[in-house]
């Protein structure tokens, strides 16, 4: 079980007077791989954006605990939060501009270190260190041409996930990671994520509408609607909750 947790207290966010996030008290990361589910517009993506510092909350406290260290990340910016080991994959397809697949993987390894100005020697060492991991991912996901660009939506999605994993995060937030991927690639993504959770103690929260994936992969689930956490529990507890069924799945769907 990982030592990494995120806690939110009294976190609020409104757009034009409409409350889209109202999190009284929430702890993420206590149960290995966790799920965050809820209807469209529930506020799941917004919640991840608040945690990772992409947007700032109107009120409340967000704390990140990693290996016994406590960080107040309320109001911290994206880069600062990522440097603490808290990163996320994106719901929307990312474009990697003019970089090829292999180059953008290498860049994700080298870039964070550049902030400490390690110089060329360290950069080369870092690249070498990262090579086994990069090769493993290239092999696992069978990119058609690793030297070329990520062309399909699926390859871009995979590349975004792999770049995050190469950072060796302590906490990974995944926003609909496998939308548009074929089933075998989806299974592979989940396999490497679970492996990192088990072997490296990485905590994971996955947003997904694919409920089969959620029931199969997650040990604990948070259910969100109207900006609030409405139910939490094991997959069995959540899938049989009358409220979750009414608000999200529709009767008889579970
Ligand atoms: N920048 C913004 N300006 C105004 N409203 C916003 C903004 N970002 C999000 N919202 C609104 O906040 C609500 C929550 O959106 P959010 O994207 O977090 O939902 P979600 O649970 O991720 O939905 P989905 O499952 O469709 O991805 C929605 O009603 C959305 O329209
Ligand atoms: Mg979303």
Ligand 1 atom closest to 91 (CA)? 27
Span from the CA of 44 to the centroid of ligand 1 (angstroms): 8
Closest Cα to atom 29, ligand 1: which residue?
A: 41
* Annotated domain spans of the chain: 5-249
Span from the CA of 43 to the centroid of ligand 2 (angstroms): 7
Ligand 1 atom closest to 227 (CA)? 14
Per the model's pLDDT, the better-predicted residue between 9 and 136 turns out to be 9
Q: Is the pLDDT of residue 254 over 60?
A: no
Tokens of 78: 């994206």
Residue 8: which residues within 8 A CB-CB, separation 6 or more?
23, 25, 26, 28, 50, 51, 60, 61, 62, 63
Closest Cα to atom 27, ligand 1: which residue?
A: 40
Over the stretch 191-202, which tens digit does the pLDDT of each residue have?
A: 999 999 999 999
Query: Sorting pLDDT into bands at 50, 70 and 90, what band is 115?
Result: low
Q: Is the pLDDT of residue 117 over 80?
A: no
Span from the CA of 37 to the centroid of ligand 1 (angstroms): 14
- The count of other CB atoms within 10 Å of the CB of residue 47 is 28
Question: Which protein residues have a CB closer than 5 Å to ligand 2 (ion)?
Answer: 45, 91
pLDDT at 133: 87
Over the stretch 154-190, which tens digit does the pLDDT of each residue have?
A: 888 888 899 899 988 999 999 999 888 899 999 999 9
**Cα–Cα nearest to 163, from 194, 130, 208, 212:** 130
Q: Assess whether the C-beta atom of 21 lies below 6 angstroms from ligand 1.
A: no
Contact present, 220 and 30 (Cβ < 8 Å): yes
- The count of other CB atoms within 10 Å of the CB of residue 126 is 17
Which bound ligand lies closest to the C-alpha atom of 209?
Answer: 1
Per the model's pLDDT, the better-predicted residue between 73 and 95 turns out to be 73
Span from the CA of 249 to the centroid of ligand 1 (angstroms): 19
Tokens of 165: 């994993």
Which pTM does this prediction carry?
0.91
What's the CATH code, domain 5-249?
3.40.50.300
């Amino acid at each position: 079980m990982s030592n990494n947790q995120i806690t939110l207290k009294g976190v609020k966010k409104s757009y034009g007077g409409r409350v889209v996030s109202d999190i009284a008290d929430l702890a993420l990361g206590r149960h290995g791989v966790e799920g965050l589910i809820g209807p469209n517009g529930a506020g799941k993506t917004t919640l991840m954006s608040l945690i990772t510092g992409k947007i700032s909350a109107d009120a409340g406290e967000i704390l990140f605990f990693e290996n016994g260290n406590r960080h107040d990340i309320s109001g911290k910016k994206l880069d600062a939060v990522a440097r603490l080991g808290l990163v996320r994959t994106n719901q929307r397809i990312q474009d990697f501009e003019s970089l090829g697949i292999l180059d953008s993987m290498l860049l994700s390894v080298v870039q964070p270190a550049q902030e400490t100005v390690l110089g060329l020697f360290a950069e080369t060492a870092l690249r070498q260190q990262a090579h086994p991991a990069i090769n493993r991912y290239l092999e696992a996901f069978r990119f058609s041409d690793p030297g070329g660009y990520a062309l399909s939506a699926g390859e871009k999605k995979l590349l975004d996930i792999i770049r995050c994993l190469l950072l060796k995060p302590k906490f990974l937030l995944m926003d609909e990671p496998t939308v548009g991927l074929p089933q075998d690639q989806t299974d592979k993504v989940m396999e490497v994520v679970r492996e990192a959770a088990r072997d490296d103690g990485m905590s994971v929260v996955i947003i997904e509408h694919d409920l089969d994936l959620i029931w199969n992969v997650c040990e604990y689930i948070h259910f969100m609607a109207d900006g609030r956490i409405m139910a939490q529990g094991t997959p069995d507890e959540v899938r049989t909750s009358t409220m979750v069924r009414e608000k999200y799945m529709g009767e008889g769907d579970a």
